[in-house]
């Protein structure tokens, strides 16, 4: 595609803004050089190149017959803009990507960033959590001036929100591009791993999503890799990243550091082990390899809930066998 960013005169509504129109503007800034007008004056909007979240046109979503994704989530202006220009934005950020790679990144960003903004703008709660959590929609909406602010330039608040959204979007795109570019290196390391349970990387690659696709038999328990002046050993999460560790680091390491941890392991350069037992570090490659071997050899723990279920079944079976 042509990498020249042409000038586009774009417009959205004025007044209170939401993450929807803010992120849509950030997407357009990535694709074009834009001149932005915020108004509800239809005569002004008709003269512009792209109009969104207002005007009842291609990129508005306030019609009764609005568009829906295949999974049922309705589009808002943000999603409609992303659907039309997202692939171009990704290609502009990394021209070397193949069409399949661009599409993979496009779909991931739509599913993990854009869709939630669309859902929120359409009045759908995207998550229900025990702990209240700020999301992108909330953070961007909070750029609106408070009710008691002395507002001289309404658009300045919108501009600040767009700057923030532009950073978020840029970071998400960069991270997804980095995952695609790391794929070949991770697959090569996977095929050459020293033993089935251990993946050893030569860089701090974003490995989690790629490993979940290629490790179909769920053999890899730990991943070792360098970071700055040390080496890390990290556990692999269960299915979908939400089922705990496939295997945790040894309980005797939890929360220990430096000399105390080194003494337990039998090395002289241990750095730490997180209390959650999902990551540990040492200063040398040799030491992190020894830690990996010990972690793999450590007997697998039976989760307390599973142990109690097994125990209840055993007791029940024994009671039935004696007629009780």
Q: What is the pLDDT of residues 226-264, one digit of tens each?
A: 999 999 999 998 765 445 899 999 999 999 999 999 999
- pLDDT averaged over every residue in the chain: 91
Q: State what percent of residues in the chain have pLDDT above 70.
A: 90
Query: Where does the pLDDT of residue 35 fall: very low under 50, low under 70, confident under 90, or very high at 90 and above?
Result: very high
Q: What is the pLDDT of residues 44-98, one digit of tens each?
A: 999 999 999 998 899 999 888 889 999 999 999 999 999 999 999 999 999 999 9
Instruction: Give the integer Cα–Cα distance in Å for 52 and 23.
Output: 11
pTM of this structure: 0.82
Q: What is the pLDDT of residues 157-206, one digit of tens each?
A: 999 999 999 999 999 999 999 999 999 999 999 999 999 999 999 999 99
Contact 276, 253 (CB under 8 A): no
């Amino acid at each position: 595609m042509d990498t020249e960013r042409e000038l586009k005169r774009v417009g959205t509504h004025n007044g209170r803004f939401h993450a929807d129109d803010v992120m849509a503007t950030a997407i357009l800034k990535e694709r074009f050089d834009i001149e932005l007008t915020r108004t509800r004056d239809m005569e002004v909007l008709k003269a512009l190149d792209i109009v969104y979240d207002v005007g009842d046109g291609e990129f508005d979503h306030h019609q009764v017959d609005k568009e829906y994704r295949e999974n049922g989530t309705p589009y808002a202006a943000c999603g409609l803009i992303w659907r039309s220009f997202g692939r171009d934005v990704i290609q502009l950020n990394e021209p070397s990507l193949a069409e399949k790679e661009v599409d993979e990144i496009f779909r991931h960003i739509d599913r993990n960033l854009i869709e939630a903004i669309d859902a929120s703008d359409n009045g759908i709660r995207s998550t229900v959590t025990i702990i209240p959590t700020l999301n992108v929609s909330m953070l961007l909406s909070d750029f609106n001036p408070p009710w008691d602010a002395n507002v001289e330039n309404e658009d300045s608040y919108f501009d600040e929100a767009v700057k923030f959204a532009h950073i978020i979007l840029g970071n998400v795109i960069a991270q997804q591009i980095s995952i695609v570019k790391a794929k070949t290196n991770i697959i090569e390391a996977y095929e050459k791993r020293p033993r089935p349970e251990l993946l050893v990387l030569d860089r701090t690659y974003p490995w989690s999503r790629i490993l979940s696709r290629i490790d179909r038999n769920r053999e890899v328990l730990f991943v070792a890799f360098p970071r700055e002046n040390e080496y890390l050993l990290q556990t692999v999460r269960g299915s979908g990243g939400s089922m705990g560790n496939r295997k945790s680091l040894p309980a005797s390491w939890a929360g220990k550091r430096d000399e105390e941890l080194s003494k337990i392991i039998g090395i002289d350069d241990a750095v730490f082990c997180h209390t959650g037992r999902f990551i540990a570090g040492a200063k040398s490659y040799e030491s992190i390899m020894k830690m990996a071997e010990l972690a793999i050899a450590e007997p697998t723990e039976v989760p307390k809930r599973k142990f109690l279920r097994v125990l209840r079944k055993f007791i029940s079976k024994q009671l039935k066998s004696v007629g009780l």
